[in-house]
Chains A and B, each alone.
Chain A
């Protein structure tokens, strides 16, 4: 009998993960609702504010989409690494390097907009990608587990960039300790991402179409090309892939480079779109949230898009929660709980089986179900 552990769903052409994700999110929302009630605060108004802050009008919608676009990219970053079987916890570090590279290039190169933006994005991709090659090499050449190496590299990146480069050599006000929180010099106006609906007051910018286009390309690459297939083989069975002549180490390096590049571009979107410099205090957590986006999205590209925008809306809405005295970390709690629940899809198995049984009487329950719902991955 097929034991459907979570990792197996990664390669499954099944819709079951989507259902699990939906249940997981609903459960997480319910648990948090009860948690707010327990602390004696107004949960109903809190959730109403959350909704208002996420979807109530052009500006909130813009914020949701803006944050969603970044999360889609970090989610894709984690997803891509997963196809070769690597768990990239290091999207945060790659995100930071990408953001810094975009800030530096956006400031340094006097180019017209149609060149300045691609140059900054390219630099960010390169920076994030190169940083991600370190764990790839450590994994294939030295046998160091990527979870450990990427976590440690996150700390290295955070300390080096925030604790040294941005407050020291790259700081706009070198010397005086007071102004060092200012961050790097502002990028040139040409490198600003154009806002799509500036007249409505929404900050939504070109980042949205960029993220969607990248998601579509990643999906096409992973599911439709030979190389994407080879990556999947490496993830599904590294020894079998090697025995059939697929170069494991190379595929892992390529996938990790793309993974890091995606996180780097996510960092660049923030810098080029809203911050316009690398700020002195910059702890966004978008990279870490990418893990949740990828997992809740069932580690597929379309899943990352859906989950990315959902969590983007949650993030945008949670800023409003402070109005009723609830800490914004509450959004992260929902995220964490959702991941905890999708980690064990078996929790929902009885529920799913019942739903399926009701949907079609002819469907043979349980065993054959996973192969039946086959379709496009």
Chain B
């Protein structure tokens, strides 16, 4: 194999490592915000997913049960977000931020309580690899297309779009706004939880206390950059992952660690994301009712 082809293949492999957690979380973001609920809590939901996937996989020895636990943990925390922001009409941004704070500390607390560690969990059983990558990776490849298809072709997709744009209109047409929104938020949490599980039992093979290290927020940025569409968000995630791959290889080439330049390279993907957001003027395409609490008896 020629050196160039080998480099490209390596890059593709690296891409398939880095992109899936982002893609899954970003799709979660799309699902929630399309229905009109802002989900800043993706980061926390990923963290819960990553931890519980690892913990259950270690406890039962079965990575598939870990996978289910990761999705369930994400969905459960999302249900809390749904309860606060839909039932109690809390400010959705605040509720999401609060969820992140709780996820940050509660998981640290549980890591200490269960595994007696402040850094990493013991190694967990990993998901089997298909063509060199876990099933979650391939799920992340297929899911954007599936979600695009749901939004454009199915009755459910039509209703989700309607509820996110003009909930009262949907309500008068007989759509149950709060139920549908709750469903979307919980689904969003399950996806973010799967994204977290990808980090712990899909890639690293253990839980690290720093997980997901801002990936939930990157996923949010990808969602905005992708104009709240599944395909756009996935494309943005691939781009961010590519930036990460390039950053790492550059960092290695320039011996950044020896020169104390690591931080410079680490900051690069975040700065790049900001630059792209600044250039893309994202706000204009957000669903019209995104973040607006729905009051069934309001006027």
Do A and B touch, yes or no (CB under 8 Å, in the complex)?
A: yes
A interface residues with partner B (beta carbon < 8 Å)? 1, 3, 5-7, 35, 39, 87, 89, 138, 142-145, 147-149, 151-153, 155-156, 159-165, 167-169, 171, 177, 180, 288, 291-292, 295, 327, 329-333, 335-337, 339-340, 343-347
Give Cα distance in the complex from A159 to B266, angstroms: 6
Contact of B277 among A138, A169, A288, A327 (CB under 8 A): A138
Determine if B156 is an interface residue (Cβ-Cβ < 8 Å).
Answer: no
- B185 CB to nearest chain A CB (Å): 14
Closest beta carbon of chain B to A166's beta carbon, Å: 9
CB of A148 to closest CB in B, whole Å: 5
Whether B169 is near chain A, meaning CB under 8 Å from some CB there, is no
The answer to whether A143 and B101 have CB atoms under 8 Å apart is: no
Residues of B close to A330: CB separation below 8 A: 105, 109
8 Å CB contact of B91 from A138, A148, A337, A343: A343
Is A152's CB under 8 angstroms from B106's CB?
Answer: no
Contact A329 B263 (CB under 8 A): no
Pull 20 A–B residue pairs with CB atoms less than 8 Å apart, ordered by A: A3-B89, A142-B279, A142-B281, A143-B281, A145-B283, A147-B93, A148-B224, A148-B277, A153-B270, A156-B267, A159-B267, A163-B266, A164-B263, A168-B260, A327-B118, A330-B105, A330-B109, A332-B108, A340-B95, A340-B98
Q: How far is the CB of B252 from chain A (nearest CB, A)?
A: 15
A-B pairs with beta carbons under 8 A, tally = 166
B90 touches A5 (CB 8 A): yes
CB pair A336–B277 under 8 Å, yes or no, is no
Q: A6-B94, A164-B263 are in contact. Are A327 and B283 (CB under 8 A)?
A: no
Report the Cα distance A343→B99, complex, angstroms: 10
Pick from B94, B108, B263: contact of A162, CB under 8 Å: B263
B221: contacting residue among A148, A159, A167, A332, CB under 8 A: A148
A339–B94 touching, CB < 8 Å: yes
Could you list 12 further interchain pairs (A-B, Cβ under 8 angstroms) beyond the known A3-B295, A344-B90?
A: A5-B91, A7-B94, A148-B220, A152-B273, A156-B267, A156-B270, A159-B262, A332-B105, A339-B98, A340-B99, A343-B91, A347-B88
Tell whether B228 is near chain A: CB-to-CB under 8 Å: no
Please pick, from A144, A155, A159, A333, the residue contacting B283 in the complex, using a CB distance under 8 A: A144
The answer to whether A168 and B259 have CB atoms under 8 Å apart is yes
- Interface residue? B264 (CB, 8 A): yes
* Known contacts A149-B274, A333-B106, A339-B101; A164 and B91 CB within 8 A of each other: no
Tell me if A155 and B95 are in contact (CB < 8 A): no
Which B residue sits closest to A32, measured CB to CB?
Answer: B109
A-contacting residues of B (Cβ < 8 Å)?
40, 80, 84-85, 88-91, 93-95, 97-99, 101-106, 108-109, 112-113, 118, 214, 217, 220-221, 224, 258-264, 266-267, 270-271, 273-274, 277-279, 281-284, 293, 295, 297-298
**Which residues does chain B contribute within 8 Å of A161, judged by CB atoms?**
263
Set B94, B105, B262: member contacting A343, Cβ < 8 A: B94
Residue in B88, B102, B270 whose beta carbon sits within 8 Å of that of A152 in the complex: B270
Which residues of A have CB within 8 Å of B270? 152-153, 155-156, 159
The CA-CA distance from A228 to B284 in the complex, in Å, is 29
With A and B bound together, what is the CA distance between A339 and B100 in angstroms? 10
Give the secondary structure class of B's interface. Answer: helix
> Contact: B263 with A165, CB < 8 Å?
yes
Contacts of B279 on A, CB cut-off 8 Å? 142
**Which residues on A sit within 8 Å (CB–CB) of B263?**
159-165, 167-168
* Of A329, A331, A332, A335, most B-chain CB atoms within 10 Å: A329
Q: How many angstroms between the C-alpha atoms of A319 and B237 in the bound complex?
A: 40
Known: A89-B97, A156-B271, A163-B263. A344 touches B112 (CB 8 A): no
Q: Which of A142, A162, A345 has the most CB of B within 10 A?
A: A142
Among candidates A144, A147, A160, A329, residue contacting B267 with C-beta atoms closer than 8 Å? A160
Inter-chain contacts of A138 with B (CB < 8 A): 274, 277-278
User: How far does the alpha carbon of A162 sit from the alpha carbon of B88 in the complex, in Å?
Assistant: 40
Question: A155 is contacted by which of B91, B112, B214, B298 (Cβ under 8 Å)?
Answer: B214
Q: Which of A1, A156, A329 contacts B105 (CB 8 A)?
A: A329
Contacts of B274 in A (CB 8 A): 138, 144, 149, 152-153, 156
A332 touches B104 (CB 8 A): yes
For B220, the chain A residues whose CB sits under 8 A away are: 148
Complex: A145 Cα to B290 Cα, angstroms: 13
- Chain A residues near B283: list those with CB within 8 A: 143-145
Q: How far is the CB of A76 from chain B (nearest CB, A)?
A: 18
A291 CA to B99 CA in the complex, in Å? 13
